[in-house]
Amino acid sequence: MFLEAFKQTIANNGYEVLTCGILAAFTGQIIKFILFTIKTRKINFKIFTTTGGMPSTHSAGVMALSTIIGILKGFDSIEFAIAFGYALIIMYDAAGLRRAAGKTAASLNKMMEEFYNHDLRAVGGKLKELLGHTPFEVFVGAIYGIWFAYMFHLYFIG
């Protein structure tokens, strides 16, 4: 009963769009946590709040958002064009600018470690290095977001 009412509330409107984008990013973080745990054989709950890694949840979220808008409004609509343009900027930033910032942080951490004899607390701690994504992580996140949007819409409308 509750699920049916929930489906009717969010179907074919802005709530479906927002819910789809947010859930795609959230489930992407869960996938990232599972993959990290399998790869390192360690449980690290900080993965849920970090950027970087496989898949790109930024890409998953914005591609799910733009895909669901395309499904609802048409892939030739102005709304889809705006959302897709936004998604491209986010994905470019994830693989470009933020990745470069992460590499810069790694270099600075190494230099400061040597300069301060491995005591980075003297300068306020280590800079965050895992900021961006490889192009492959962005691509996988985008594909996941597209798939998620179709499955989400199928479940709530189909």
Query: 122 in a domain, yes or no?
Result: no
Query: 102 in a domain, yes or no?
Result: no
What token pair was written down for 89?
Answer: 């900027």
Query: 103 in a domain, yes or no?
Result: no
In this structure, is the dihedral angle defined by the CA atoms of residues 127, 57, 20 and 156, taken in order, positive or negative? negative
Query: 30 in a domain, yes or no?
Result: yes
In this prediction, residue 38 carries a pLDDT of 84
Query: What region, left, alpha or beta, does residue 124 occupy, with left being phi > 0 and alpha being psi -120 to 50 degrees?
Result: left
Each residue's pLDDT expressed in tens, for the chain with a length of 158 residues? 666 776 666 667 778 889 899 999 999 998 888 887 888 788 776 766 676 677 888 899 999 999 999 999 999 999 999 999 999 998 888 776 655 666 666 666 666 666 666 655 655 566 555 556 678 888 999 999 999 999 998 887 66
In this prediction, residue 32 carries a pLDDT of 86
Q: How many domains does the chain have?
A: 1
State how far the Cα of 37 lies from the Cα of 33, in Å rounded to an integer: 6
What token pair was written down for 32?
Answer: 């990232």
In this prediction, residue 3 carries a pLDDT of 64
Query: 90 in a domain, yes or no?
Result: yes
In this prediction, residue 133 carries a pLDDT of 65
In this prediction, residue 155 carries a pLDDT of 83
Query: For residue 56, what are the domain limits?
Result: 2-96+132-157
How long, in residues, is the chain? 158
Query: 101 in a domain, yes or no?
Result: no
Query: 58 in a domain, yes or no?
Result: yes
- Other CB atoms within 10 Å distance of the CB of residue 150: 15
Query: 107 in a domain, yes or no?
Result: no
* pTM for the whole structure: 0.73
